[in-house]
Structure 1
């Protein structure tokens, strides 16, 4: 009967909603007329205190939770914007509206009675503040029932009447309990008594009372309390504060209760521990209050704990779920046994979601936070195992990335090598059949490629994460390489060539007008053309920076002291490009023809010196940027990456060298040595000495100056330069370990920057051309899961550590999604082989 009446109430709810605003307005109108707040004499809904008429509450739309607003705001004002309410609507309209909202939300939770009860406590507490009392419940039930009868008319039946009577009886009983607590002013009694406890005893004393009594009553649970007693005492007191909040602000209590429950389930707390914990708390309060703990206070606290503990026990009972137990204990074998019991159609749900008190938690992220790498590896590998019965394929790739869109970032940050290998290994399928010396390989890279509609920010896509958070060795995996190859060949290479061709053109004009013929005024037009191109492309890059800033694509730039800048200029090479174009733009429009003769005659013209200085710097940068073209070749790209590492090492050492030069320059200046009459001349003298262009200086140095000069040679020339050589040799060894990875990471970085300047429409068009929504075949024409591209690779890849032939697990027998997968020797041996390969392909720890 209960199941039938529940089903009826759902139909009643849907039917009452379906006729549209007119019928719904009719139901509300009747309900409002019946439930309008009358005076005390007619025994209606109004409070005995007429000043408590509902005039300060919000009655939201069904999709939102009710919230209270400032005092004085009427129901009518709150709902005036709703099309069901006219200008002449009364405050009773809002009461009817709120009960409609209340019914809607409670009926949605019909099959979750515990959550329904929580919402009912919150709603009823609010209704009490609006003037609703226990004696009004029968009238409200009659009003709602009559409204439904008038809406449904001839569709109303005796079965519906029975269903309504049952449901309202259950609901009103729970409401009566909460209204009783509010009517008896339990909140005041509890708050006052608890404040008195805190006045009479310190937090440490209260905690000690709770702890000792709990130890006496339930010594078997004391293993849970491992922290220092001062911290433990504060936590005990915080629990009681939460209980007080339960009776005062139940909605706030339930919100904070979710995180509290999750923490305690992870600690291993069980529902049966709640009884002993509650008794110890009541004992501590009674002992502290002494004579102030009268019968009324005892009854109020007992009722509070009875109501709160039922919510606590229900939430903690989730911890008995075998999946949660496995996560708490960190036991991979138990997790495997638990998952093997699930329906094959729900297996991915079990692996990716645990519901604890309405909070959805990922088992993968749970295990990551606990540092249980083995568990994470098992969960990811199981999700990415391809299983098949005689009817369809089951592959958890979509579920994994839908529930964990940032999983690549998480794995890169918290456990890079092994888990990235495990994840990427599950996104690849190899055929075991050789066709003309080649093998079919499916790369399931749809989620790694990233749909621009779902993730428009290129800096959050997988390739960018692998560059910014990953290690170059990750690009040694075939899936990462294929992802880069697809993007590079489809748009990255072409865009890069266009950008580089612009700088080649500017470099050519620059060499002609600013370098080879810098003193000839007849080449001034070429300099103007060079400057015009530079201004044009400076503006283009400025537009790119503005677009990145507008889209929120911000990153830190190392050479600008990690200042947040648009992502385009977070890359050093792009900063150098902008700097070179800026310098050329200035120098090209400065007419230095009249300064040339003075310069050749030895007369230093300031304007000419500045122009030549800018041209010198711009020339070095332009040729340096041109070296980035070497990325077109993997071998040459590794060379540019090596040069980049060397450059960083040299810059770090030059900073230290500069400090030593300044210190010894100060000493020589103080001794008034030859050529060191000023500090600046001393610096120049030491720099020339290091470079070997000032040999006569030593003969003019006195013994003390010679001592300082000798120290300078030992520290800077011998010490620092040998340290630099050693560091550079170490960098060479580091690059040699993963030359291809460094080269591909550099190429990937350029590819990301090229994608960031593409119009969104082009990005969407290229993504659509990938046809990820179409099924990709396995051997013999079997249509497998979608989301992949298929490539014919040389059969020699069978020698690779990443090769795993036809890893699909196929099962015969019943194909019902409600049946669990059979546990077979085939699956066990496959799991062992996957573990063996993962171990074989794992990179060294970073």
Structure 2
């Protein structure tokens, strides 16, 4: 059972003693750290094999021991959970529970040499012994055969360790070890500790289909339920295991019919997460930037599924609207300008430009403001001098969209039609909605420059429309590379 602490009189007395420890220890711990490890290595010479860190790291661990003994009196319930989690990490490090006793003895002897206060010594000894008992319990309960096999980093050892587990329990043996309220994943621990051979064997075992008379067992659902961010972790820490993962998501029949055999792709968790939302797997793979990996059959299958069933319509709708906006822009800026001015031409120009400012500029402003505020709220930005720049602006496409928004705003401010309406001669002889009044001469040149740049940005942003043609896409890829 997990040791429980209450606010009884003895514990309150020990809390008072802990204050004495806190007052006396910090200034002396650094000088006492060498003595602590000297005593510990004398009591347990094998402990030197597990303390190969730098002197600074060893001193930090000694300081942390003292802090934990004090925190145990302040927040006992919280510390019990933290120490249980620490014990599970000791399982991953392969620390024998026999070393806790000599370490505690060395620490207590060191404190006894530092202070003659018996209350401080008793408080430190009680708290440290309680911490040691929790750690020993966590290490003992968490030291499964699988965790021991991970430390060897040998596939044969891992297979032998998991072979005794029943079919219905194999997945949980590889994905979850619990001690109290704390848990650790052997799969993630093997990846974090660099035991990639063991991690590869675990993935193969999880993605092997087994069966008895009534039930099929396949660890895919359990694996992605326990670790929704598995692909992200593999992309960042163990990219070589992505091939093992994707190969395990494919089942091929051994029966051949008409020169073909059935193939099943288990891509449910690559399309949606456990909560039914859209999975970020494709985004993570895109950021990984491995061209060979994205050509894997599993990735191609679920990427094509997303494109054909979901993304293509939205993409075509958005690009079609953008293309229509470009046509309206060309019409209002070029096709309607030449020739003699007339009322019908002025009305057509005014309507087209109203559509540009209301239907295009306002939409782009809203989209960028929404994305910008969302990035700031999520903390997804970097500081450049005194300006926060969201990460999404690192994309050339997004920067081009922002420049287009700014150009359209400048065009709106300098719109000759609006200047003529506001400041021009609106007498009975003037043509309504004219853009050629004298009052607009000052802004006409800068307006033309902004219009030219905006048209260039429209064409540049329309470049991804070439995705509809594989030949044009290949040309774009070669030219941009």
TM class by shorter chain equals 0.7 to 0.9
Picking from 344, 349, 356, the partner of 1:527 is 349
Deviations 1:611-632, CA, capped at 9 Å, x for gaps: 2212211222222233322101
1:282 aligns with 2:108: yes
In the TM superposition, what are the counterparts of 1:168-183 in structure 2 within 5 Å? 181-182=10-11
**Which residue in the other structure is 2:474 paired with?**
638
Structure 1 residues not aligned, in runs of 5+: 1-113, 129-178, 599-603, 647-730, 732-846
Picking from 153, 164, 181, the partner of 1:341 is 164
Distance 1:197 1:496, change over 3 A: closer
SS in 2 for 1:360: strand
**Which residue in the other structure is 1:476 paired with?**
295
**Which residue in the other structure is 1:205 paired with?**
31
**Which residue in the other structure is 1:314 paired with?**
137
| TM-score normalised per structure 2 | 0.82
In the TM superposition, what are the counterparts of 1:552-701 in structure 2 within 5 Å? 563-564=389-390, 571-573=395-397, 575-577=399-401, 579-580=403-404, 583=407, 586=411, 589-591=415-417, 605-643=441-479, 646=480
Distance 1:606 1:242, change over 3 A: same
> Residue 387 of structure 1 contacts residue 395 of structure 1 at CA under 8 Å; is this kept in 2?
yes
Q: For residues 558 and 632 of structure 1, what CA distance do their matches in structure 2 show?
A: 37
Q: For residues 219 and 234 of structure 1, what CA distance do their matches in structure 2 show?
A: 21
SS in 1 for 2:416: coil
Distance 1:476 1:635, change over 3 A: farther
Q: CA deviation at 1:477?
A: 0.8
In the TM superposition, what are the counterparts of 1:42-441 in structure 2 within 5 Å? 114-115=1-2, 118=3, 120-121=4-5, 124-125=6-7, 128=8, 181-182=10-11, 185-192=13-20, 195-196=23-24, 202-289=28-115, 292=116, 303-356=126-179, 358-416=181-239, 418-436=240-258, 438-441=260-263
Q: CA deviation at 1:490?
A: 1.5
Q: For residues 447 and 434 of structure 2, what CA distance do their matches in structure 1 show?
A: 13
Deviations 1:393-439, CA, capped at 9 Å, x for gaps: 111111111111111111122232x2222222122223344445554
> Residue 88 of structure 2 contacts residue 142 of structure 2 at CA under 8 Å; is this kept in 1?
no
Q: For residues 395 and 57 of structure 2, what CA distance do their matches in structure 1 show?
A: 47
Q: For residues 400 and 264 of structure 2, what CA distance do their matches in structure 1 show?
A: 40
Q: For residues 258 and 223 of structure 1, what CA distance do their matches in structure 2 show?
A: 23
Distance 1:632 1:241, change over 3 A: same
Structure 2 residues not aligned, in runs of 5+: 421-432
In the alignment of these two chains, the number of paired residues is 457
> Residue 397 of structure 2 contacts residue 461 of structure 2 at CA under 8 Å; is this kept in 1?
yes
Greater RCO, 1 or 2 (C-alpha within 8 Å, sep 6+): 1
| TM-score normalised per structure 1 | 0.49
Distance 1:634 1:218, change over 3 A: same
Greater gyration radius: 1
Q: For residues 553 and 359 of structure 1, what CA distance do their matches in structure 2 show?
A: 28
Q: CA deviation at 1:272?
A: 1.4
Q: For residues 452 and 232 of structure 1, what CA distance do their matches in structure 2 show?
A: 42
Q: For residues 623 and 596 of structure 1, what CA distance do their matches in structure 2 show?
A: 28
Deviations 1:760-798, CA, capped at 9 Å, x for gaps: xxxxxxxxxxxxxxxxxxxxxxxxxxxxxxxxxxxxxxx
What is the alpha-carbon root mean square deviation over aligned residues? 3.6
1:495 aligns with 2:314: yes
Q: CA deviation at 1:306?
A: 4.5
Q: For residues 452 and 244 of structure 1, what CA distance do their matches in structure 2 show?
A: 41
> Residue 509 of structure 1 contacts residue 527 of structure 1 at CA under 8 Å; is this kept in 2?
no
> Residue 595 of structure 1 contacts residue 605 of structure 1 at CA under 8 Å; is this kept in 2?
no
Q: For residues 382 and 44 of structure 2, what CA distance do their matches in structure 1 show?
A: 58
SS in 2 for 1:527: helix
Q: For residues 640 and 241 of structure 1, what CA distance do their matches in structure 2 show?
A: 60
SS in 1 for 2:95: coil
SS in 1 for 2:333: helix
